Structure 1
Amino acid sequence: MTQASSTEAPALTPQFCFDERLLQDFLRLSRSTIDDSIAQNLNALVTPAQRGFDPSSTAIRQTDSRARKAIDANACQGFKDNVLFPSWQTRSDVLSYCAGVATSPDPEDPDLILRETESARDRERVVNERLDPYSARFFPREARTESLANLVRNQRTVEEIIRARTWGMVTERCSSSSASWEDALNTWRQSHGR
């Protein structure tokens, strides 16, 4: 079984994190390759030709999802160990790195001088709310580290939802234990020295 190319970590640099479109594209591609197509990935693990074709299988329409053939335990474990968990780990590593970048000082912020100028102008402004009740409004520009922190926070929430959904399908089709995806991923991390 080959690893998906989406599990390959990009070069982690602050520039990668601050390019929010590139960061989101990497996460989106990784999710679409593994998690969004989990049913297809699991179906690919089934080898129907092992027993040969049974003509009676087409006599009755199979509408019950529980009637699906169980996937071989070794194939499931191989998929989880070689494709699913490495993909999740790579995305976790990227999000953790970018969270660190978001909480670090940003001396190369291109909007730093502009924000400082706007802030100084705002402090000097005289506000007469009786004449203009909206004159007190001031919307400071968000630092790119703040924007990145918000993006990472949102993407971590998305990861939680996607992993829970994916893990539900994996446990259903692979007859896995009912351990949570967090426990399963942590067990994999420990066994792979991560």
Structure 2
Amino acid sequence: MSRTPDQPALTPRFCFNTTALRDFLRISRGTVDDTISQNLNALVTPGTSNSFDPSSTTERIARPVHRRPIDTAACQQFKDKVLFPSWQSRSDVLNYCAGVATSPDPDDPDHVIRETEDLKARERLVDERLDPYSSRYFPREARTEALAMLIRNERMVESIIRSRTWSLVGERCDNGGVEYDKALDAWRRADG
């Protein structure tokens, strides 16, 4: 089974380091979700099925490995030990960083620069007849605003990836018609 990356230490510094944040999410998704077909195929153990089945000769084309159902216990173990912990780890990171993005940022290194630019923009005399572009002012974005936008985007990506992964898991394992978020919540309650 896949080994998911360890969850990083959750600090504001980690969240504001967007490269580290994106790398963690990318590696975690690549380890489990992007390789879901390979992970599910690994659960099919050759030779564990019953001996030769005479009814298999009635089929013209044997079912490929990627379409064979997987043992229920192996599926459940994969979901409980690999899939859901990976999703939970990413959820924890995104939730923590969303909290950081909505909190005041006393350590913002660009705060003084933004304040100075805002003050200059307010004091500037604008004569649009002479220069129609002189009234344009694009304030710098605070790093908390940039982080909030990144988290929103990553949550949308996460939703799409989880939906796709869950549908592939549902093809090979029995999901009982449950949506991925409800299955994850049930796992959280059982695990917690």
> TM-score scaled to structure 2, two decimals?
0.91
Give deviations 1:109-144, integer Å, cap 9, x for gaps.
000000000000000011111122111111111111
**Does structure 1 conserve the Cα–Cα contact (< 8 Å) formed by 2:102 and 2:144?**
yes
Distance 1:125 1:171, change over 3 A: same
Pick aligned residue for 1:18 from 5, 16, 30 = 16
Q: Which runs of 5+ in 2 are unaligned?
A: none
Q: What is the alpha-carbon distance in structure 2 between the residues aligned to residue 30 and residue 18 of structure 1?
A: 19
What is the one-letter code of the residue matched to 1:11?
A
- Aligned position for 2:179: 180
What is the one-letter code of the residue matched to 2:168?
M
Report the Cα offset of residue 37 of structure 1. 0.4
What is the one-letter code of the residue matched to 1:108?
D
Q: What is the alpha-carbon distance in structure 1 between the residues aligned to residue 66 and residue 108 of structure 2?
A: 57
Q: What SS does the aligned partner of 1:5 have?
A: coil
- Aligned position for 1:27: 25
- Aligned position for 1:133: 132
What is the one-letter code of the residue matched to 1:104?
S
What is the one-letter code of the residue matched to 1:35?
D
Give deviations 1:124-174, integer Å, cap 9, x for gaps.
011111122111111111111001000001000000000000000011110
> TM-score scaled to structure 1, two decimals?
0.90
Q: What SS does the aligned partner of 2:108 have?
A: coil
**Does structure 1 conserve the Cα–Cα contact (< 8 Å) formed by 2:43 and 2:74?**
yes
Q: Which runs of 5+ in 1 are unaligned?
A: none
Q: What is the alpha-carbon distance in structure 2 between the residues aligned to residue 5 and residue 34 of structure 1?
A: 7
What is the one-letter code of the residue matched to 1:113?
V
Q: What is the alpha-carbon distance in structure 1 between the residues aligned to residue 105 and residue 41 of structure 2?
A: 46
Give deviations 1:10-51, integer Å, cap 9, x for gaps.
000000000001000000000000000000000000012224
What is the one-letter code of the residue matched to 1:100?
G
- Aligned position for 1:47: 45
Q: What is the alpha-carbon distance in structure 2 between the residues aligned to residue 65 and residue 130 of structure 1?
A: 73
Q: What is the alpha-carbon distance in structure 1 between the residues aligned to residue 66 and residue 168 of structure 2?
A: 15
Q: What is the alpha-carbon distance in structure 1 between the residues aligned to residue 184 and residue 85 of structure 2?
A: 9
Distance 1:133 1:10, change over 3 A: same
Identity in percent: 61
Comparing 127-136 with 100-109, greater Cα deviation is found at 127-136
Give deviations 1:85-119, integer Å, cap 9, x for gaps.
00000000000000000111111100000000000
Equivalent residues, number: 188
Q: What is the alpha-carbon distance in structure 2 between the residues aligned to residue 155 and residue 65 of structure 1?
A: 34
Give deviations 1:38-74, integer Å, cap 9, x for gaps.
00000000012224689x88x9655x77982110000
Q: Say what the alpha-carbon RMSD is for the aligned residues.
A: 2.2
Distance 1:135 1:81, change over 3 A: same
Q: What is the alpha-carbon distance in structure 1 between the residues aligned to residue 81 and residue 64 of structure 2?
A: 26
